[in-house]
Amino acid sequence: MRVGLVCPYSLDVPGGVQNHTRDLSEALIDLGHEVSLIAPADEDDQLPGYVVPAGRAVPVPYNGSVARLAFGPLSAARVRRWLSDGRFDVLHIHEPAVPSVSLLALWAAEGPIVGTFHSAMLRSRAMLAASSILRPSMEKLSARIAVSEHARATLVQHFGGEPVIIPNGLYVDRFAATRPSPRWASPGGTLVFLGRIDEPRKGLATLLEAFPAIIRSRPGVHLYVAGRGDVSAAREMVPREGVGSVTFLGLVDDATRADLLASADLYVAPNLGGESFGIILVEAMAAGAPVLASDLPAFRRVLDGGELGTLFPTGDPAALSRAAVDLLEDDVRRGRVRKAAAVAVRRYDWSALSADIVRVYQTIRAGAGLVGEEA
């Protein structure tokens, strides 16, 4: 099958949708399909052979973050040429409502089209305002997929329909095969935070506010912070008691990311909102890191209500510090959670999810009706 994939966000910056589309491309290729992925990217980027760059991206504030999008005559021309040359059996557009190459592809394409929705933005004024304009375009979708219940609710609220839910995927064994490294070991315990450090909704400020109380109970504890953003500004947020016990690593590669998670005594996700799934929690679980996360609906679902990790009240530094200390002092509890998570995380492996997605492709190609649409 010839499959065209569309990612709206620039591939030169790591992100959930970017990682998802690249991993899905590789999973489909492994299954024997012919795949091409178009996304914003510079021509001189080090890109896999299956990626077609749609032009340089422009940073735009979006969903509490800054998205790098490509929209304009040049990108539109590249999308049309890509569609013409590709002659795809199925076109799979991720975030088809995002004003980037995704929306451009939806406008230009005909034939079997799948749309995957990742965002959770209930009661978004921008989405509500745009829904009446975009709804006719959304009717071109032959199938609708949501990566989580919260992404499904966002889609239903703004565009109707009833999408199927296929979650974000992970190559689980790439994380499970990584062993703890002595370089990250700390006598009081190793905490890890991964995320964009300059986005308030990722909650780093909450974790740093909680950190002095953790240090007082666990002398020798160390926090490693990895992610893109202004490291100098982030260091200014570290409380005086935490200086020397927090290391900022900046943006790390995939191998270091897995190494950090495998070495963590605790992975902390203090996010404040705007999360539709929580793939980083899945990565941590796969690597063997016990998870301590904000009690967001998306995180609660991934952690099976707290069976596969520990939840604390969102935005509460005192609760975070108490939960972190309790976990660091309870080796048996952390070991029990590790074992349960290692089994449960297999549900997110690409070996299963890619097969589910291919079945959606086959259904719409066979003309068996719309998938994820209103009856």
Amino acid identity, residue 182?
A: P
* Gyration radius of the chain over CA positions: 21
Helix-then-strand count for the chain, H and E: 14, 15
Q: Which H or E element spans position 49?
A: none
CA 233 to chain centre: 25
Q: CB atoms < 10 A from the CB of 351, how many?
A: 14
CA distance linking residue 17 with residue 6, whole number of Å: 10
DSSP 3-state of 39: strand
Which pLDDT does position 367 carry in this prediction?
Answer: 79
Instruction: State the Cα–Cα distance between residues 266 and 179, nearest whole angstrom.
Output: 15
Q: What is the pLDDT of residue 375?
A: 35
Dihedral angle of Cα 21, 27, 33, 39, to the nearest 10 degrees = 20
Strand blocks (E) in 70-216 = 90-94, 113-117, 143-146, 164-165, 190-194
Residues pairing with 194 in the sheet? 226
Q: Measuring CA to CA, how many Å separate 304 from each of 18, 88, 358? A: 26, 38, 27
pLDDT in 10s for each residue of the chain, 375 residues = 999 999 999 988 888 899 999 999 999 999 999 999 999 987 666 789 999 999 888 888 766 677 888 998 999 999 999 999 999 999 999 999 999 999 999 999 999 999 999 987 755 666 656 676 788 889 999 999 999 998 998 888 888 888 999 999 999 999 999 999 999 999 999 999 999 998 999 999 999 999 999 999 999 999 999 998 999 999 999 999 999 999 999 999 999 999 999 999 999 999 999 888 999 999 999 999 999 999 999 999 999 999 999 999 999 999 999 999 999 999 999 999 999 999 999 999 999 999 999 999 999 998 744 454 443
Give DSSP secondary structure letters for 202-267.
Answer: G-HHHHHHHHHHHHHHSTT-EEEEE-SS-HHHHHTTS-GGGTTSEEEEES--HHHHHHHHHH-SEE
Predicted pLDDT of residue 295: 97
Q: Could you give the domains of the chain?
A: 2-169+349-365 (3.40.50.2000), 172-345 (3.40.50.2000)
Strands 291-294 and 51-53: unpaired
Q: How much is the pLDDT for 33?
A: 98
